[in-house]
Amino acid sequence: MSTSPASPPARLSIRSRLAVGVGRAVAGASRLVHFGTGSVIGGRASLLVDSNLLRKLTAHRDVVIVSATNGKTTTTRMLSAALETTGPVVSNSLGANMTPGIIAALGPTALTEPAVLEVDERWVGSVLDATGAQTLLLLNLSRDQLDRSQEVRKLAQHWKTAIGQALPGCVIANADDPLVVWAAVDAPDVTWVATGQDWTSDAAGCPACSGRIEFDRSSWHCTGCDLQRPTPDIVWDDSTITIDDRTIDLELGLPGRANRANAAFAIAAACRLGAQPEAAARAVETVTEVAGRYRVASLDGVSIRLLLAKNPAGWHEALEHLAPRPAPVIVAINARIADGHDPSWLWDVDFERLGGRFVVALGERRHDLAVRLRYADVEHVIAETLDEALLLVAGSPHHDPERAVDIAANYTAFQEYLDRVGGPE
Ligand SMILES: [Zn+2]
């Protein structure tokens, strides 16, 4: 990754430098009063001073955008690790993935340093336009926060329009997600990555003709038009990834099928950007925790592991990560703004898979969860607090003190427990 030798010298105007300085000062003040990291409010303050700051901060960089409903934070982290094998890389690693958060991440860095940016699904068009990113990773689209997010087909249309207008030189897209394929198929250069897709419930209708998408074991096609799974360029198969006829073994530090898919995208993108496949794979293997997800810690003498799941597709993957039956599990659901106020998605998650283990329902919407578990015929109790939940699992018949108890939580519940746990041990 390099800037063209013909590029003008990388320098910010006085106004832009002032904007960066104001953002830093506001973020610092926000941190002082314990108002989070301050990155978003600092970025907003910067934009008030210079509304074109993102364009200026990225004018001399190679920029990669990573977007998806699920997996974008992890994939961004993995891709950063893989690209760091070729030199320094900047990323919005705190997960603030709209323009203010991105500005806050980029502001203090060298203006020519390549940037790997996690971008909210709804912001892909504006960030693509402002940054002129030449590389775009599109992982998946599924329902998320029913009362806040757009319907998935609208998001696919947004991506399709954004690609049509910006024409990024390299799109790396999921061959197994019909919505992503439809959005990316007209891009000038697409690398199709196949990792298998368990969750197909949000892609039953064709985004092109509203016909029915038919899935079989390893492929899919529309029964009403010619939209179909493209021939993949890069294939993930169990514990290997095949790129350019080279097969590389992978032993990831993160569990589950979804993280294998994230790794495949990260390695594919890193290779397109000049990293060596072996070096990229080894770097991706070193990622063991992303923003507290999968963190193992001890609370009240009980060993726990934190899992994050935010929407039906995310829960589908999270349930796969749980310690094997009959290990007990704590499931926590909130319904604040950041979670989406509408928890009716609980009925779209296959909680029947928790059968055969002791489940503690926790969080502000524990009673909604308990009703769902009752219909799923899953043995469960309700806990008012995390401490009570830990006491209940510690006293349950199949608790193994040598094994971490999984706490699967949605967004704000997860953040609350992560704060309680503190930094990595
Ligand atoms: Zn169709």
pLDDT tens digits, one per residue of 6-29: 555 678 889 999 888 888 888 888
pLDDT digits (tens, 9 = 90+) for 270-315: 999 999 999 999 999 999 888 888 899 999 899 999 999 988 888 9
Query: Is the model's pLDDT at 425 over the cut of 80?
Result: no
Range with the lowest mean pLDDT among 182-196, 232-246, 364-378, 399-413?
232-246
Range with the lowest mean pLDDT among 143-152, 155-164, 216-225, 257-266?
143-152
Report CA(207)–ligand 1 centroid distance (Å): 7
What value does the mean pLDDT of the chain take? 90
Q: What pLDDT does residue 165 have?
A: 95
Minimal CA–CA distance to 44: which of 57, 56, 34, 53? 53
3-state secondary structure of 358: coil
pLDDT digits (tens, 9 = 90+) for 109-119: 788 999 999 99
Query: Is the model's pLDDT at 333 over the cut of 50?
Result: yes
Around ion ligand 1, which residues have CB less than 5 A away? Answer: 206, 208-209, 211, 222, 224-225, 227
Report CA(205)–ligand 1 centroid distance (Å): 8
Report CA(185)–ligand 1 centroid distance (Å): 13
Minimal CA–CA distance to 305: which of 412, 416, 404? 404
CB 133, CB 65: distance < 8 Å = yes
- Name the token pair of 345: 């998605």
Q: What are phi and psi of 24, to 5 degrees?
A: -65, -40
Report CA(262)–ligand 1 centroid distance (Å): 27
Cα distances (Å, whole numbers) of residue 77 to 25, 43, 186, 221, 278: 27, 21, 28, 32, 17
The dihedral sign for the CA sequence 371, 375, 376, 382 = positive
Report CA(183)–ligand 1 centroid distance (Å): 13
CA distance 20 to 52: 12
Contacting residues for 246 by C-beta, under 8 A, at least 6 apart? 277
Query: Is the model's pLDDT at 148 over the cut of 60?
Result: no
pLDDT digits (tens, 9 = 90+) for 369-412: 999 999 999 999 999 999 999 999 999 999 999 999 999 999 99
Report CA(221)–ligand 1 centroid distance (Å): 8
pLDDT grade for 201, boundaries at 50, 70 and 90: confident
